[in-house]
């Protein structure tokens, strides 16, 4: 496995990350059908500002940059040490990404292990995350790294007419 360590994001990295993550998160929400495209980036920025009211200095947040043996950036991670639904001792992984040109070389697994160590060192007993169902590469990484499904949302498109009752007539 490739060696990856983590360090705090610099102020410059944090600012660039904020722009990038808002666009990525909005696109994922739109693609999953959770949000409409109109105003999605602004909505993502607003959600992030609630979670990070003091920016990179927000207490109980780990904003990490993964670097390889040469000190070159390979990825990023955002961990909240307090679970958004209050699960005691459980940190939450809000964002995790490997630099596009470096994917598929084991760096994801190495960065995930380094992030887990940082969360453990900060007092977390477990790490939880959400992953979009279409992100099969991430699902494979998390599953093979020991993460288990604890809840699952499912959706089925029902067409333009909506759900039908037993008689075949639209339900009210």
DSSP letter string, 82-120: S-TT--TTEEEEEEEEE-GGGTTSSHHHHHHHHHHHHHH
Q: How many other CB atoms are found less than 10 A from the CB of residue 27?
A: 15
Domain assignment present for 111 = yes
The pLDDT, as a whole number, for residue 26 is 94
What Rg do the C-alpha atoms of the chain give, in angstroms?
A: 18
The pLDDT, as a whole number, for residue 161 is 61
CATH of residue 22:
3.40.630.30
Domain assignment present for 162 = no
The pLDDT, as a whole number, for residue 155 is 79
Structure tokens at 149: 């499904």
Domain assignment present for 68 = yes
Provide the residue range defining the domain that includes 73.
5-144
Domain assignment present for 22 = yes
pLDDT beneath 70: ranges in the chain: 1, 160-172
The pLDDT, as a whole number, for residue 81 is 98
Structure tokens at 68: 């390889």
Domain assignment present for 165 = no
For residue range 65-78, list pLDDT tens digits in order: 999 999 999 999 99
Domain assignment present for 157 = no
Domain assignment present for 167 = no
The pLDDT, as a whole number, for residue 132 is 83
* Total domains in the fold of the chain: 1
């Amino acid at each position: 496995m490739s060696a990856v360590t983590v360090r705090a994001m610099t102020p410059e990295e944090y600012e660039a990350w904020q722009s990038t993550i808002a666009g990525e998160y909005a696109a994922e929400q739109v693609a999953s059908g959770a949000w409409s495209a109109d105003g999605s980036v602004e909505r993502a920025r607003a959600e992030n500002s609630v979670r990070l009211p003091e920016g990179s200095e927000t207490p109980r947040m780990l904003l990490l940059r993964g670097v390889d043996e040469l000190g070159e950036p390979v990825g990023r991670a955002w961990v909240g040490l307090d679970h958004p639904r209050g699960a005691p001792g459980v940190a939450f992984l809000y964002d995790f990404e490997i630099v596009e040109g470096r994917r598929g070389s084991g760096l994801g697994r190495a960065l995930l292990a380094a992030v887990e160590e940082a969360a453990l060192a900060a007092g977390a007993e477990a790490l939880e995350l959400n992953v979009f169902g279409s992100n099969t590469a991430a699902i494979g990484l998390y599953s093979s790294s020991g993460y288990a499904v604890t809840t699952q949302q499912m959706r089925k498109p029902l067409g333009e007419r909506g759900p039908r009752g037993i008689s075949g007539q639209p339900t009210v």
